[in-house]
Structure 1
Amino acid sequence: MEPSSFGISPLIRLTLLGLYVALTIPLPFLTQVTSAPVPASWLWIGITIGAIALYAALSERVVLDQDGIQVTYPRWVPRWLRPGWVLPWQEVQALKPRSTGQGGLVYYFLTHSGKAYLLPMRVSGFAKLVQQVQQKTGIDTSDVRPLAQPWMYLILLGLTLMLLAVDSWTIWTVWTQGYPSPLN
């Protein structure tokens, strides 16, 4: 088996990064209007750190090869932030579904030693990943489906774009009202 690599779906990555920007970028501008006790510069620092952490989480790669499955991150991502994991095929005993608090299903690899590893479900080529897991483990994966369908992320992306439009209006309003720029 040639090693296969699966990254987070571009649609999911774009949507989550866009939502983060839409939810955080107006905050330093609004500190000017509300006379908030937190300086805008602190918010910019926090927003930047948060963006780096989110980008790190969204840089996850799932690698399947002859020996097993592993979840990895680029070298620049500290191991204490996103450690990743490696699971040899011979350790996999079962793939068990668990319901989420929102009513969805996630799947865990269960090992002979009793450990559980979350099956990455937000990757591009999820069907291919699941097919390769079935080939290597012999576990029936015909009922395994992604946690969220692409149309759900398309709707969230659309709502994020609308929120970004409102954010643009908010920032424009702050600037045109004569408040000092939080970018300085």
Structure 2
Amino acid sequence: MLSESQPSSYSVFHISPLIRITLLAFYLALTIPLPFLASAAAAPLPSEVLWVGLCLGLFALWGALSERVIVDEEKIQVVYPFWFPSFFRKGWFLSWAEVKDLKMRTTGQGGLVYYFVSKSSDRAYLLPMRVVGFARLVGLIENYTGIDTTDIRPLSQPWMYLILLGFTLLLLLVDGWTIWTAISLGLVA
């Protein structure tokens, strides 16, 4: 929630719904079968414990994917919902006057990410790249800092998440068929 001292002109950027839906569905596709497999295999860990763990993991993922980027004339900040514990992920803010540069780094998968470098400290702040309106965000950064942002592109393209979503839906279908078969054969209580 924005404070009353928040300037009247600000922009809020949320993580793309395509990315949120894809990652939540992928999490569910990978984890939902586990309690059923534990029950069918008579694992020493009760399936109820797995259900609790899966719910906690879903809560943590939902909170992390609820990140918002708020930009105004004075600063850029990354915030999370009030209900999301800060020990999972902490937000940050950086005033435009403190921005020294945007530095590019390569990821382990060969992608490019950018970090804000602060003038007063050695801290670096990751530029959020999976937000709706990324081009507008980059335009605001260039406007407020004067840093040339013409070469900055999103980390991943929408088609990558569409492909992952397609395979995730296929995996969910297989999961559903497997769970239904196990239940109908009496392998799962």
TM over 0.5: yes
- The number of residue pairs the alignment matches comes to 181
Aligned to 1:24: 31
1:103-182 alignment, distance < 5 Å = 103-112=110-119, 113-181=121-189
TM norm structure 1: 0.96
Secondary structure (helix, strand or coil) at the match of 2:108 reads coil
Which of 16, 20, 23 is the matching residue for 1:13? 20
Which of 84, 89, 100 is the matching residue for 1:93? 100
Describe the superposition over 1:77-96 as per-residue Cα deviations: whole angstroms up to 9, x where unpaired. 11222210010000000001
CA shift for structure 1 position 179? 2.8
Secondary structure (helix, strand or coil) at the match of 2:59 reads helix
Separation in 1 of the partners of 2:77 and 2:22? 25
CA shift for structure 1 position 31? 1.2
Separation in 1 of the partners of 2:81 and 2:19? 18
Separation in 2 of the partners of 1:94 and 1:60? 23
CA shift for structure 1 position 38? 1.0
Aligned pair 1:41/2:45, yes or no? Answer: no
Secondary structure (helix, strand or coil) at the match of 1:38 reads coil
2:96 and 2:145 in contact (8 A); partners too: yes
Separation in 2 of the partners of 1:154 and 1:47? 24
TM norm structure 2: 0.93
Give the AA of the match of 2:165: L
In structure 2, list runs of 5 or more residues that go unmatched. 1-7
Separation in 1 of the partners of 2:74 and 2:103? 21
1:56-95 alignment, distance < 5 Å = 56-95=63-102
Higher relative contact order (CA 8 A, sep 6+): 1
**In terms of mean alpha carbon deviation, does 133-142 or 107-116 score higher?**
107-116
Moved over 2 A (4+): none
Give the AA of the match of 1:157: L
Aligned to 2:4: none
Separation in 2 of the partners of 1:81 and 1:22? 23
Separation in 2 of the partners of 1:79 and 1:43? 24
Aligned to 2:3: none
Separation in 1 of the partners of 2:90 and 2:106? 24
**In terms of mean alpha carbon deviation, does 18-27 or 79-88 score higher?**
79-88
Give the AA of the match of 2:132: S
